[in-house]
């Protein structure tokens, strides 16, 4: 499927990954409609493309508002969600209504409006604590947080709509994505803390947690491939960088990249938040072989790009 000229909806389009996807689709000469409830998304994320897209402030829980925004849409990239695990623990009702019921609304309307394909942003949280690593797509699904459960509910619904109604559906299980416009999570938190106090970096947990980071441009490329390639339909793919690193090593790497080696004391709290998974890294051989995905931006280069953006944002605050 060629995306050029297609009317494409990006839910969560003002969010971190969603806004980068919007930019890429504009570059592909697609006709882009972006929606976001702006709870976590930020319109400034769309500054690069705002004059070339159609934007609507819509909450995916609102069926009728979503129906209006989806008028004439041919392809849907569904990224709108509560993507915060601790928040899902504190507010499971909002998390379920957004991630599970909101996804139902997207799927039902996609079917009703003859959408050609839906690409769904799932999460590595659907796996829960791994039985083995690296985690491939055949790994048992046993989420341990409300967030992981609600994302899995959306994923299962999508595949049910594919099996029952023939709605073309692809699920992308995102591990840890990072880059410009990410205003939370571990790398941003490290940069913020080191900006405030370069002599001391407090790290949540033991530092033994392992993550598999994928730079946001590479993540977006995976979504584009899933939309373009018919072989992706009815299947699920991990998105990750393929280079796992412990949070301890990440902390010291970032201290080094910032030129603070030997100047910063790194301290670990010993405890993390409920629902945090210790080892979360992916086998990405399937998306490589089936869709031709290949991460291009290495971890150090990606961190430098994130730091450059962070410095610009910090100076403008």
Q: pLDDT means per 10 residues in the chain (317 residues)?
A: 97 98 98 97 97 98 98 98 93 98 98 98 95 97 96 98 98 97 93 96 92 97 98 98 95 96 94 73 97 97 96 77
Angstrom distance (rounded) from CA 286 to CA 293? 9
Angstrom distance (rounded) from CA 269 to CA 290? 41
The full set of domains in the chain, from first to last, is: 7-177+214-239 (3.40.50.720), 180-211+243-280+297-316 (3.90.25.10)
Question: Residue-wise over 11-23: b if at least 16 C-beta within 10 A, else e?
Answer: bbbbbbbbbbbbb
At 128 the three-state DSSP class reads coil
At 176 the three-state DSSP class reads strand
**pLDDT computed for residue 282 by the predictor:** 97
**pLDDT computed for residue 270 by the predictor:** 84
Residue 261 is encoded by which pair of tokens?
């080696």
Q: How far is CA 27 from CA 13, 88, 294, in A?
A: 15, 34, 20
At 296 the three-state DSSP class reads coil
**C-alpha distance across the termini of the chain, in Å:** 42
**pLDDT computed for residue 273 by the predictor:** 62
8 Å CB contact between 281 and 135: yes
CA pseudo-torsion sign 256, 261, 264, 269: positive
Which positions are annotated as active-site residues? Answer: 147
The pTM for the full model equals 0.95
**pLDDT computed for residue 52 by the predictor:** 98
**pLDDT computed for residue 279 by the predictor:** 86
Angstrom distance (rounded) from CA 252 to CA 247? 9
**pLDDT computed for residue 274 by the predictor:** 65
Residue 252 is encoded by which pair of tokens?
């010291």
Angstrom distance (rounded) from CA 20 to CA 249? 28
**pLDDT computed for residue 278 by the predictor:** 80
Angstrom distance (rounded) from CA 209 to CA 230? 36
The residues pairing with 268 across neighbouring beta strands, listed in sequence order, are 203
Residue 69 is encoded by which pair of tokens?
């925004």
Antiparallel, parallel or unpaired: β 265-268 and 200-203? parallel
Which of 19, 71, 61, 11 has the alpha carbon at shortest distance from 220? 19
DSSP-derived letter for residue 215 is E
CA torsion, ordered 242, 171, 33, 229, to nearest 10 deg: 80
**pLDDT computed for residue 110 by the predictor:** 98
8 Å CB contact between 213 and 178: yes
């Amino acid at each position: 499927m060629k995306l050029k000229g297609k009317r494409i909806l990006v839910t969560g389009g003002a969010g971190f990954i969603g806004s980068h996807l919007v930019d890429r689709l504009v570059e592909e000469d697609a006709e882009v409609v972006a929606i976001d409830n702006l709870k976590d998304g930020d319109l400034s994320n769309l500054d690069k493309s705002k004059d070339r897209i159609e934007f609507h402030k819509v909450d995916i829980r609102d069926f009728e508002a979503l129906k209006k925004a989806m008028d004439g849409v041919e392809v849907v990239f569904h990224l709108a969600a509560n993507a915060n695990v601790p928040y899902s623990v504190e507010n499971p009702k909002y998390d379920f209504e957004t991630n599970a019921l909101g996804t139902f609304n997207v799927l039902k309307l996609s079917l009703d409006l003859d959408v050609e394909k839906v690409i769904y942003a799932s999460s590595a949280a659907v796996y829960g604590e791994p039985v083995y690593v690296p985690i491939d797509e055949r790994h048992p699904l046993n989420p341990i947080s409300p967030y992981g459960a609600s994302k899995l509910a959306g994923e299962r619904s999508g595949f049910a709509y594919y099996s029952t109604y023939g709605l073309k559906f692809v699920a992308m299980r995102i591990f840890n994505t990072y880059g410009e416009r990410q205003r939370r999570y571990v790398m941003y938190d490290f940069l913020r803390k080191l900006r405030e106090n370069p002599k001391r970096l407090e790290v949540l947990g033991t530092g033994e947690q392992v993550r598999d980071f994928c730079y946001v441009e590479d993540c977006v490329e995976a979504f584009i491939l899933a939309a373009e390639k018919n072989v992706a339909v009815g299947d699920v793919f991990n998105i990750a960088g393929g280079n796992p690193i412990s949070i301890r090593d990440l902390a010291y790497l970032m201290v080094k990249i910032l030129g603070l080696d030997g100047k910063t004391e790194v301290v670990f709290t010993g405890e993390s938040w409920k629902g945090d998974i210790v080892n979360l890294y992916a086998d990405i051989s399937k998306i490589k072989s089936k869709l031709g995905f290949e991460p291009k931006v290495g971890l150090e280069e990606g961190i430098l790009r994130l730091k450059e953006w962070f410095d610009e944002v910090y100076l403008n605050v």
